[in-house]
């Protein structure tokens, strides 16, 4: 593959839903910050050239110390995060020195159990299909509810997936779609929804159930269970 691969890690969330004073990306798992576990996975993938982290300025010193301590030489920049996750990713994107065809991976700082295998699979699929996301087929029955939590209807789960990161895109497409989303005032909950909106096809590859996103306390417990197991 003759395209550079660069990674954006948005780590600027304040963790309102999780609670506590320390943002969850800095909480420790097996003695190391969640962010350290996450960055290490990408650092260990040979095809990856550069990593950029978006964070709140008050955490820059903390992040620089993580980078130094772990010799994360591929982390070339730490940039300021924004109000929305999308703003954090955009600020990282405009601070990357990229060729049009380079592959950009975006991964939540709070998914420390992403596997090197999944990262490689996403990169390989991106080289073939362009825009790629990992997804897991839904097995539970899905219901839509009203604001009082009464069932409105049952959603057909056929072909429905829950989506994870890392998500991958060609640099030029991602940049173009982000610019349009700002012009249109569109907010997406992930990067894929931004490129989908502007008509690009996104390929779903199998995700990994262990690739948990730590949002609430119970997610931390689940991650610890996986780490204590075969991980
Ligand atoms: O808030 P949420 O759980 O969706 O955050 C997913 C990832 O995006 C986290 O790693 C978080 O630190 C990051 N984020 C960010 N900037 C924001 C909000 C979230 O970098 N404004």
Nearest CA-CA partner of 37 in 22, 53, 20, 25: 25
Q: Which atom of ligand 1 is nearest to the CA of 109?
A: 10
Q: Which atom of ligand 1 is nearest to the CA of 55?
A: 20
Q: What pLDDT band is residue 231 in, cutting at 50, 70 and 90?
A: very low
Centroid of ligand 1 to alpha carbon of 151 (angstroms): 30
Task: Note the pTM of the prediction, 2 decimals.
Answer: 0.95
Centroid of ligand 1 to alpha carbon of 209 (angstroms): 20
Q: Whose CA is nearest to atom 17 of ligand 1?
A: 85
Centroid of ligand 1 to alpha carbon of 14 (angstroms): 8
Domains and CATH numbers, the chain: 5-226 (3.90.550.10)
pLDDT at 230 over 80: no
**Residues within a 6 A CB radius of ligand 1:** 10-13, 25, 54, 81-85, 88, 108-110, 215
pLDDT at 125 over 60: yes
Work out the average pLDDT over 135-148. 96
Residue-wise pLDDT for 155-197, tens only, equals 999 999 999 999 999 999 999 999 999 999 999 999 999 999 9
Centroid of ligand 1 to alpha carbon of 1 (angstroms): 30
Cis peptide before 166, with omega less than 30 degrees from 0? yes
pLDDT at 78 over 70: yes
Which among 108, 111, 213 is the best mutation to test ligand 1's pocket, defined by most ligand atoms within 8 Å of the CB? 108
Work out the average pLDDT over 42-67. 97
């Amino acid at each position: 593959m003759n395209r550079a691969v660069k990674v954006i890690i948005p780590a600027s969330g304040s963790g309102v839903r999780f609670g506590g004073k320390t943002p969850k990306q800095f909480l420790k798992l097996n003695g190391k910050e969640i962010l350290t576990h996450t960055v290490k996975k990408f650092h260990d993938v040979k095809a990856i050239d550069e990593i950029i982290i978006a964070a709140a300025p008050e955490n820059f010193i903390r992040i620089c110390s993580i980078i130094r301590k772990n010799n994360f030489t591929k982390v070339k920049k730490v940039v300021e995060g924004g109000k929305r996750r999308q703003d954090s990713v955009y600020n990282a994107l405009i601070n990357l020195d990229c060729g049009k065809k380079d592959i950009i991976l975006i991964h939540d700082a709070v998914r420390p159990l992403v596997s090197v295998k999944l990262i490689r699979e996403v990169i390989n699929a991106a080289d073939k299909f362009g825009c790629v996301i990992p997804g897991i087929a839904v097995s539970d029955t899905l219901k839509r509810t009203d604001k009082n939590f009464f069932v409105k209807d049952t959603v057909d789960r056929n072909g429905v997936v829950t989506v994870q990161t890392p998500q991958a895109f060609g640099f030029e497409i991602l940049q173009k779609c982000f610019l349009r989303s700002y012009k249109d005032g569109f907010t997406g909950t992930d990067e894929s929804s931004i490129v989908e909106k502007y008509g690009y096809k996104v390929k779903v590859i199998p995700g990994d159930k262990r690739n948990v996103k730590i949002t609430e306390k119970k997610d931390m417990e689940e991650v610890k269970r996986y780490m204590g197991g075969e991980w």
